[in-house]
Amino acid sequence: MNLKNNATISCDLLVIGSGIAGMVAAARAASLGLDTVLTGSSSGFFLTSGLLDFLGVYPVESSQVLESPFNGLDQLRKQNPDHPYSKIDNKTILESLDFTARILSSGGLEYSSAKNTNVNILTSAGTFKPSFLVPQTMIKGSSIGSGKKKILLADFKGLKGYSAALIAQALKRRHMDVTTVTIQVPQLTGDFNVMRMAALFEDDAFLHRTAKQIESSVQDREILGLPAVCGIHNSQDSMKKLENLTGLDCFEIPGLPPSIPGLRLKNAFETHILKNKVRVFNNVKVAFTAFENEQILFTTDGEPFRTQIAAKGVILASGRFPGRGLAAHREVIRETVFDIPVYHPQQRSLWYQLDFFSPQGHPVNRAGILTDSDFRPVDKTCQPLCENVYAAGSILAHNDWTRLKSGAGVSCVSAFCAVNHFHARKKIK
């Protein structure tokens, strides 16, 4: 690669944003043989739970938790024709999720699902969250929902923001049989961080010591719940070793960021993408400069190496407010790369509800970019703004993923379909 000042890079597809949508888009593009450049920062993965949801709740007003996403999908499409899922059929959705699981597997991380149904995953707040594709280290936890298992919950002394007792009390409300054990970690004292904790799990001696401390609490227990810090690079192995040592089934419980399952997800995506020759500009922000001869030109920020990128197509997967794909001002919400018009409630007084936990969600969370059925952003007349610019992921409008539990699903599906469409159009030409 030429790193000279003002070098120009040409590519088929530029993916802006390195979240789930960006990663899936880049992986899909690479698998279709497109010359792909990926920009943006992947540190947002630290804030994700590591679970890949599809559709967990619908309708949100009645807080209806779905046993299978497909149970709510038809109703969603009917009531909300602008929702990203309304633009795609079920087969494509499954195909895209399958594709995502495969690329993660190629990156060294196994995800599994339960036959087209949601799995309910216990979180560190003691709640159950409906999800679809779940890391192997968490999948066994879905079996406790029945309430028949005898559960042992472990926490670590000094690990902040996670308490087995808190979860146990919440589970007792659901009449489950729970006991807890607190594990001492002599290696770590005072104010330590989760990364150190997670790294310890890759040490066999530590696993032995941990198993020994659990030993006396095992008794009649059948399954062991641990905070989601069981190893960074070999979490599946560590989990298996711990299962062998304790004789219990083990599962991880996702919780507060910084999230180790999120880090694993990031590592797996990045491993796969680098293996497949996607050119990655990590931590690089691009600024749109011009449309020129069917190409879209960008410059990267940061002196002195300003690089020009000329792309035949763009996937805008820059995320919402935390990813800075959208920027909210006192009066208006703007899209930050192209300044594409953003659909949002007009007055700020309408953005949020008075109840933070309002089941129907805050209107501003449904704000975002409106697209046509091929995920190309549209103007007021519903015509695509540009033939070869696509939007994918959480930036899309009408998808309140925190309420629908549809974040990763929409990201995977929209990215997958957008890349497919771009590829098909290119071939016709």
Partner 1 sequence: MMFETLFYISLFLCAAGCIFQWVRFRRAGLMFKPASSDRFNPGRLYPNPVNLILSFLNTIFQIRLFAAGKIRWLFHFFVFAGFLYLVTVHAFHQVTAVVLFDYYDPTVDPFQFLRNLFGSLVVAGCILFFLRRGLRLRVNQIKSNWGSHLKYKGLVSIILVFLIVGTGFLLEASKIISEPVFMEMVEDYSDLEEGDELEELKLFWQEKAFVSFDPTVPADPEKLKNGQVLNEVYCISCHSDIRSSFVSCLLADLMSFYGTVLNQTRVDVMLYRVHYGLCLALIVFLPFSRLNHIFLIPLSIAVKNQAPKTHHQKTAQVFGASLFACTNCGYCSQVCSVYPHFQITGNPDVLPHSKIETLKKIADKHPDVSLWGLQKGNNACTQCNKCTQICPSGIDLQTLWAVTHRIFSDNALVNNQTFFNRILPEAWADLETEPRMLIARQELVSDLIEKTDAFENCIQCTICTNVCPVVEYDSKDNDYTPQQVMNLLRLDQKHLASGTRMVWTCLTCYACQDICPQKIPVTDIILELRHLGGVRADAVKLQQTVKKRVEIS
Partner 2 sequence: MEKIIETQVLVIGGGVTGTGIARDLCLRGFDVVLIEKKDLNAGASGGNHGLLHSGARYIASDPEAAVECNSEIRILKKMAGHCIQRTGGLFVAVRGDDENYIADFPGLCDRAGIPFEAVSVRDAIKLEPVLSANLIAAYQVNDASINPFKISIENMNDAVSRGARYLSFCKLESFDMEKKKIVRANVRNQVNGKAFQIQAQTYINASGAWAGYIAQMADISIPMVFSKGTLLVTSRRLARHVINRLRKATDADILVPGGVVSILGTTSLRVDHPDNIHPTVDEVDYIIDQGAQMIPMLATCRYVRAYSGVRPLVSAGGDDDRNVSRGYTLMDHERDGVDNFITITGGKLTTFRLMAEKTCDRVCEKLGVDAACQTEVIPLPATRSGEWSEPGIPHGGFKEFKASGDAILCECEMVPASAIDSIINSICKDKGTPDLSSIAVRSRVGKGPCQGAFCSVRILSHMYQTGQMSDTSGIQELKKFLNERWKGEHALLWDQAIVQSSIKEMIHCGVFGLELEK
Residue span binding partner 2 (CB under 8 A) among the ranges 14-22, 273-281, 296-304, 400-408: 400-408
DSSP assignment letter at 190: S
Tell me whether residue 324 is exposed, middle or buried, using C-beta atoms within 10 angstroms of its C-beta: 0 to 12, 13 to 18, 19 or more: middle
Cα–Cα distances (Å) from 169 to 8, 131, 159, 178, 179, in that order, read 59, 23, 19, 8, 10
181 contacts partner 2 (rule: CB under 8 A): no
Residue span binding partner 2 (CB under 8 A) among the ranges 12-20, 106-114, 197-205, 397-405: 397-405
Residue span binding partner 2 (CB under 8 A) among the ranges 29-37, 335-343, 402-410, 418-426: 402-410
Tokens of 169: 């009390």
The nearer residue to partner 2, 29 or 52, going by C-beta atoms, is 52
Partner touching 274 among partner 2, partner 1, none, CB below 5 to 8 Å by kind: none
Q: How far is the CB of 189 from partner 1 (least distance, A)?
A: 8
Among the listed residues 1, 3, 205, 354, the single contact to partner 2 using CB under 8 A: 354
The nearer residue to partner 2, 5 or 184, going by C-beta atoms, is 184
Rounded distance, CA 264 to CA 235, Å?
A: 9
- Per the listing, tokens 């926490």 go with 155
Listing DSSP states for 60-88 in one string gives GGGT-B-SSHHHHHHHHHHH-TTSGGGGS
Number of residues forming the site for partner 1 (CB under 8 A)? 18
328 contacts partner 2 (rule: CB under 8 A): yes
SS3 103: helix
Q: Name the pairing type of β-strands 223-227 and 249-253.
A: parallel
424 contacts partner 2 (rule: CB under 8 A): no
Among the listed residues 190, 220, 347, 428, the single contact to partner 1 using CB under 8 A: 190
> Are 46 and 258 within 8 A, CB to CB?
yes
322 contacts partner 2 (rule: CB under 8 A): yes
Q: Which amino acid is at 212?
A: K
The nearer residue to partner 2, 341 or 359, going by C-beta atoms, is 359
Rounded distance, CA 106 to CA 404, Å?
A: 29
> Are 190 and 199 within 8 A, CB to CB?
no
Span 82-141, contacts to partner 1 by CB under 8 A: none
Residue span binding partner 1 (CB under 8 A) among the ranges 80-88, 178-186, 192-200, 216-224: 192-200
157 contacts partner 1 (rule: CB under 8 A): no
Q: How far is the CB of 44 from partner 1 (least distance, A)?
A: 5
257 contacts partner 1 (rule: CB under 8 A): yes
Strand segments, DSSP code E, in 19-122 are 36-40, 111-112, 119-122
194 contacts partner 1 (rule: CB under 8 A): yes
Partner touching 354 among partner 2, partner 1, none, CB below 5 to 8 Å by kind: partner 2
359 contacts partner 1 (rule: CB under 8 A): no
Cis upstream peptide for 59 (omega within 30°): yes
Partner touching 347 among partner 1, partner 2, none, CB below 5 to 8 Å by kind: partner 2
Q: How far is the CB of 323 from partner 1 (least distance, A)?
A: 8
Rounded distance, CA 27 to CA 310, Å?
A: 20
158 contacts partner 1 (rule: CB under 8 A): no
* H-helix or E-strand spanning residue 106: helix 90-106
Among the listed residues 356, 380, 428, 429, the single contact to partner 2 using CB under 8 A: 356
Q: How many helices (H) and strands (E) does the chain have?
A: 11, 17
Contact characters 40-79, partner 1, x per CB under 8 A = -x-xx-xx--------------------------------
For the chain, the C-alpha Rg in angstroms (whole number) is 22
Listing DSSP states for 311-373 in one string gives EEEEEE---STTTTSEEE-SS-EEESSS----B--SSGGGTS-SSTT-TT--GGGG-BB-B-T
The alpha-helical segments, DSSP class H, found in 141-291 are 164-173, 194-200, 204-218, 235-246, 260-275
Residue span binding partner 2 (CB under 8 A) among the ranges 24-32, 44-52, 274-282, 416-424: 44-52
Kindly list the residues in this chain that would bind partner 1 in the complex (CB under 8 A). 41, 43-44, 46-47, 189-196, 257-258, 282-283, 322
Binding residues for partner 2 (CB under 8 A): 47, 49, 51, 56-57, 63, 65, 123-130, 155, 157-158, 160-163, 165-166, 169-170, 172-173, 182, 189-191, 254-257, 320-322, 324, 327-330, 347-349, 351-359, 361-362, 364-365, 401-403, 405, 407
